[in-house]
Structure 1
Amino acid sequence: MTATTLARPRHNRVIAGVCAGIAARFGLRPLTVRVLFLLSCLLPGPQFLIYLALWLLLPQEP
């Protein structure tokens, strides 16, 4: 299995495509990454800031 580069997809996105891009990069289902992100939001930490930073920094798929 070949991993793709880390980029936000143009399709299969819910908000910004960050979770879908991470899922594609690591060969996971997007729903799995979204659920893990939502569960991590129950813990203290900068999850939303990291999501916003990835939204701004990750390139969009060509």
Structure 2
Amino acid sequence: MFVKPVSGRVVRDPVKGTFLPESGEEVPENTFWRRRLKDGDVQKVKSVTTSNEVKAEKGK
């Protein structure tokens, strides 16, 4: 699932140890991230795919 932090919140990825970028990131749908959603720390959004990424996928 693709999530991004709610405005004013900072969320650390428990696997990578880095902060979730404000633009969002694809994360596994596990207990940790479902809890962050329930607590209102992150919001689930549609993944933003650039046109270059779409073209690269079509070229495969």
Task: Specify the TM-score bucket, using the shorter chain as the normaliser.
Answer: under 0.3
Structure showing the higher strand proportion among its residues: 2
> Which has the greater radius of gyration?
2
Comparing both structures, which one devotes a greater share of its residues to helix?
Answer: 1
State TM-score, norm by structure 2. Answer: 0.23
